Structure 1
Amino acid sequence: MPEGLTAGKDAYPGSAGPMIFKPDDRETPSCVAGTFGLLPVWAKVRAFAKRTYNARTETAAEKPSFRNAWHKGHLCIVPANAIYEPCYETGKAVWWRIERADGLPMALAGLWERKQWGDDGPSWSFTMLTVNADTHPVMRRFHKPQDEKRTVVVLDGSQIDAWLGASSEADMRALLRPCADDLLVAEAGRL
């Protein structure tokens, strides 16, 4: 477990969470604690992470907050037991827990950056990549009715190594899609 993390603790935008990446000089992935929310090198305050915890795959290459990490191929996996999203089917926001149907941890596709801050907080930061979920049977149920339906990219099996080893934008984009329809389950009010 990376220093600064506690087993079973939830991560929120701006807090510390684990990320897995492949250092340039090694084949074996490493796990470090990073700020949940990408902090580009030009960010002045850590609170910026509360605006950059998700990155739309369609615009990550162009958006100032994400383009450096995208173009440098700073790819990571964000491990998670579950994610939480609001469902408005009752007419009000009800938070739902979403997890893998088989109970295994999720491997979420992400981007990372590293910046020295001059304090004892993590120098690493990360974001989760998202795609359209209009047709995904589980993920299309979340967010406000008028909002576009989005999902994090949940990688499975060989997709995990393929993501960490992607060497071109084409390789990256080939993996950025909603997960298999039956991979996820959701339950209301279970936080």
Structure 2
Amino acid sequence: MTDVSSALEYWPSPPPWGWTADDLDRLPAEGPNGEPDFFEHVELIDGALVFMSPRKRFHQRMVRLLTEALDDQAPEELAAVDQMDVKLGHRMRPCPDVSVVAARAAADDERTFYTPAEVRLVVEVVSPESEDRDRKTKPFRYAEAGIPHFWRVESKDGRPVVYVHELDPATGVYGLTGIHHGHLTVPVPFPIDIDLDA
């Protein structure tokens, strides 16, 4: 078994100027010890590489439910995608759990990220290790980039609770517009009706 000091010897060092959003497209396919898909689930948050931990079944179930429901109900010019990066800036490239983006952008199979102008809604399903990022850092950065809608999904006694936020154009920050248990019905960014307990 490789100890930490020898593993760090093979760890990819950041460039002298630090990690940038474009560096994520140039990371190696394998990890420092030949692990396949090592960098598949990594995001860049304020210039730091953040590795996402294994997801619980609740997380996977909510991502699937929301992606399918949003894609089914979206108008033809929009599409729902999951686990795709949004490049918010030079050192900020998070990977929302679900996004609603321009259909033209979603149809481009060569894309590795979307731009804020192409994104109408981002959804983060909170995990214990991502609480701080999903509740504070990411919403602030999404709002700063001008993404009009943000949802945060949390588990309460094993059932989903969706916190719906909308960008206030006057202040440039998100305002909470509703907390949804069991059923989610909202008129924006398009009419949406989702049975959360399905």
Name the TM-score, length of structure 2 as normaliser. 0.27
- Select the structure that is richer in helix: 2
In our comparison, the structure showing a higher alpha carbon Rg is: 2
Q: Specify which structure has the bigger relative contact order, considering alpha-carbon pairs within 8 angstroms and separated by 6 or more residues.
A: 1
